[in-house]
A and B are shown apart, each in its own frame.
Chain A
């Protein structure tokens, strides 16, 4: 038995039971650290790039100066400062928050349902948020205050989550079963889409409202302000924190419900908390950025390829990588053509082919979260 003999041979160090294994684990950890460092550096570079590039080009010194003056509480020194601090910075932060949040939400749902294709859309929450937003636009509320649309979207997400949970819990006699939850989510989502389409068709008579709705439904980050950042940041980060706090339980759920129960996980409670936290994240994300696809599906898979499925590494890295993905996608959306492309189009254009490539190399995607 190596456990008994190795410590004596290596001078009594109890954790040096198997040198090769320890070295291997060290290598895995080093790889995780390297991936983390690389992603954080890339995210920082992407945010800076997002501030530099646009219709007006700024120098690094200008960007640093403008952000520094803002942080020091000083007033913006001219329109160039304003463009950096009040236009580009909030937009980049919204992209970072939304991308990170959607990736974490996707990772959590994939682990919770043991389904690699689970994505923040499956609970119907994002379509509920869309319905709320579209109602706010068509009723004219959205035009009155910048926070009216995100708030309506968020309320739509919350109402949707309540409805889905109430129906699922009623069917399961008080317990939430994964299968029921997904089916109810899909059905309610379809209902949301039909209502959204109805509102849209009614609004098409009015050119402006119809155009605004269509554009919003494509998912874009145009004209995002600090209001959007502040409105979305709190619920989104609270949801992400709740999910991250349940990383070990999500690991245990990989053992199946019975296995997780055996190691002391209250499966029903964890599922309820994580699903609510996910609804919070997705509701906030859609509220401030519109429906943006493929981030929640694609990013967790890519991170798993790098560091494995353990949620304590997966969740924080998915947040960084999701933020990076959306910041970069938004840079592309702003610069690839003279007219801005909706960022949702860019994420789908990058995400769908990438996901298909992963699917064809079956081994990597087939392993459930």
Chain B
């Protein structure tokens, strides 16, 4: 994969379940080194968009390209070598050991009867080390705490070694320290030359760690820019239906101080 190539491109993408449109004319791209937050109110279609980018839903309009190729023309294995998804809900009762679970990330790189080789063992070891789960390697996933389990699933996505990471609410349910660690880990991964699109609810955390924020609401992309440009009181009122202040921390980065819900949830997705 060329270093300067666009990892993922959505061009005029529309989608609906049956006749009800979820979103339309979604256009954006992700390049290596970019950590992009995907934000929006509940029901905006963030999870649906992530699945669509992975070719699990067919768009009703437009096209998704992964590493330059239309996603519709790629096999699941080819897609998995270009993009790894961390789903919002991972099974809690996974009956595998941590190492076995992380090794599943190597699947798209292995032929049907090909045994795992040194390169696979190294990728798994790197992912375990990066997520600080190496010490847990031989424990059953089902016995881990929520935070540990979460890091294991992240390690699985990393072991896949796809240039693009798609993460659906990866820090939901984590305590503050683990939220920051998870985002720092993503930051470090992306700084190594990958790209990531992360669905996030916490706008302040998104603003602290991400290069760009995409706001998805009312079936459209409402904003796609640097956090400071996206986060304004007007946008928050319009998109999220909240009265909020935007302040700046000592480093000049914006953070959100929410005051009250404005009644209704901003724009509806009709």
Residues of A within 8 A of B (CB): 1-4, 14-15, 17-18, 21, 24-25, 28, 114, 245, 248-249, 251-252, 254-256, 258-259, 261-266, 304, 308-310, 366-369
Contacts and interface: CB of A to CB of B under 8 A. Distances in A.
A114 B96 CA distance: 13
B135 to A, nearest CB: 8
A258 B100 CA distance: 18
Given A14-B118, A309-B95, A261 B107 contact: no
Interface in B109-123: 110, 112-113, 118, 121-122
B87 A3 contact: no
A259 B108 contact: no
A310 B94 CA distance: 11
A251 B94 CA distance: 10
Interface string B119-160: 001100110110000100110001000000000010011001
B90 interface: yes
Given A2-B129, A309-B95, A261 B100 contact: no
B129 A255 contact: no
Contacts of B76: 261, 264-266
Contact of A256 (B79, B87, B99, B129): B87
B93 interface: yes
Contact of B134 (A3, A259, A369): A3
A259 B87 CA distance: 6
Interface in B75-102: 75-81, 84-87, 89-91, 93-97, 99-101
Q: Which 4 pairs from chain A and chain B are nearest by CB?
A: A264-B80, A264-B108, A3-B129, A262-B85
Given A255-B94, A263-B107, A266-B75, 18 more contacts: A1-B129, A2-B129, A3-B126, A3-B129, A4-B129, A14-B118, A21-B134, A245-B113, A255-B101, A258-B85, A259-B87, A262-B80, A263-B108, A264-B80, A264-B107, A309-B96, A310-B100, A368-B95
A3 B128 contact: yes
Contacts of A249: 107
22 contacts: A1-B129, A3-B125, A14-B122, A15-B118, A17-B125, A21-B99, A21-B134, A21-B137, A25-B99, A25-B138, A248-B110, A248-B112, A255-B90, A261-B85, A262-B80, A263-B84, A264-B76, A264-B79, A266-B76, A308-B96, A308-B97, A309-B95
Contacts of A369: 95
A241 to B, nearest CB: 12
Contacts of B61: none
Contacts of A255: 90-91, 94, 101, 104, 156
Nearest to A3: B129
On chain B, which size bracket covers the interface? 35 or more
B157 A254 contact: no
A259 B93 contact: no
Contacts of B80: 262-264
Contacts of B93: 366-368
A2 B134 contact: yes
A14 to B, nearest CB: 6
Contacts of B126: 3
B56 A261 contact: yes
B105 interface: yes
A349 B254 CA distance: 69
B89 A256 contact: yes
A42 B156 CA distance: 38
A264 B137 CA distance: 23
A3 B80 CA distance: 25
A168 B85 CA distance: 28
Contacts of A114: 91
Contacts of A24: 138
A248 B107 contact: yes
B96 A310 contact: yes
